[in-house]
Amino acid sequence: MTRTDRLYALMEELRAVAPRPVTVPALARRLEVSERTVQRDLKALAETGAPVYSATGRGGWSVDPAMTLPPIGFTPGEALAVAAALAAAEGSAPFADGTRGAMRKIAALLSGQARVEAHELAAQIVALPSRIDPAVRDAVERALTRREVLSLSYLDAGGRTSEREVEPAGLLTTEGRWYLVAWCRLRRAPRGFRLDRIRGAAPTGQAAPRRELADLLGSAAAGAVTPAVLDSLAP
């Protein structure tokens, strides 16, 4: 997780329980960093004008409640559906680092029978460890969001490893697998790179030209659809 991502995650942790304070040790456990790192990040947020403050005498840090979103009115069925989707995404899908924080927010909204059903659902879901290297996933996320050229070490289906520089265009998912769709500078052609076959990835710092995902997918774009769950985010 980059420092920028960590600062954002820190704000989200505080927002999730505002106006109640959260202790530094608790924040450190949730973000999986040292208490010293949390203290430094909280100070940095305060110095930039973010509405965070030390809850004097209450043993923690808080965020201005005005900066939080209003409660979301999930039905019990919607909450369970989102919980199952988040469980499937954790550790395997790109941009999955926020799943635990999102799940805590949903859990805080549940009560009564819905909470009982959620506990029963949790006891019925297990996951095998993801084969996608978290460092690879982080690098892919950064390259996509910042539109940077990405340096890859890639293992192909034949067991051969090659070094590539690619210009990311987007992500494709099918049958539980995730692919980075990009323009490959080595092959001078569009390519799809399975995330679990990427052995190493690092942003180069070079700005990547804007590439349209549909153009790189070519004829495959005719059968590709935006996942229905993302319809509400479409422009």
- Which one of 47, 67, 87 terminates a domain? 67
Domain of residue 61, residue span: 3-67
Q: Vertex 211, ends 210 and 212: CA angle to 5°?
A: 125
Q: Is residue 162 part of a domain?
A: yes
User: What is the rounded distance in angstroms from the CA atom of residue 136 to the CA atom of residue 142?
Assistant: 10
Looking at 58-212, list the stretches that DSSP marks H as alpha helix, in order from N- to C-terminal side.
76-89, 99-109, 112-122, 134-146
Give yes or no: residues 22 and 62 share one domain: yes
pLDDT at 95: 77
* % helix, strand, coil for the chain, step of 5: 45, 25, 30
Q: Quick check: is 20 in a domain?
A: yes
Asked whether residue 7 falls in the same domain as residue 86, the answer is no
Residue 207 covered by a domain: yes
13 and 30 in a single domain? The answer is yes
55 and 34, same structural domain? yes
Q: Does any domain span residue 138?
A: yes
Question: Do 210 and 169 share a structural domain?
Answer: yes
Amino acid code (one letter) for 105: K
Q: Are residues 218 and 140 in the same domain?
A: yes
Establish if 57 belongs to a structural domain: yes
The answer to the question of residue 231 being in a domain is no
172 lies in the same domain as 100:
no
Which pTM was predicted?
Answer: 0.62
Query: How many independent structural domains does the chain possess?
Result: 3
19 & 48 share domain = yes
* Dist CA 74 CA 69 (whole Å): 14
SS3 62: strand
- CA-CA distance, 109 to 203, in Å (whole number)? 38
Find all residues with CB under 8 Å of 192, minimum gap 6, and list them: 172, 179, 180, 181
Question: Same domain, yes or no, for 216 and 147?
Answer: yes
60 shares its domain with 42: yes
Last residue of a domain, one of 122, 155, 189: 122
The label of the residue with tokens 């980059």 reads 2
Residues 172 and 220 reside in one and the same domain: yes
Q: Please, are residues 184 and 169 in contact by the beta-carbon 8 Å criterion? A: no
Q: Which residues of the chain have pLDDT under 50?
A: none
Residue in this structure with the two tokens 């840090």, named with its chain if needed: 61
- Residue 155's SS3 state is strand
- Residue 7 lies inside a defined structural domain of this protein: yes
For residue 12, what is the domain's CATH number? 1.10.10.10
Q: Which two tokens stand for residue 27?
A: 């924040």
**Domain edge (last residue) among 43, 67, 91:** 67
Q: In terms of domains, do 63 and 89 share one?
A: no
Own/partner long-range contacts of 48-56 (Cβ < 8 Å, ≥24 apart): 50/11, 52/11, 52/14, 55/21
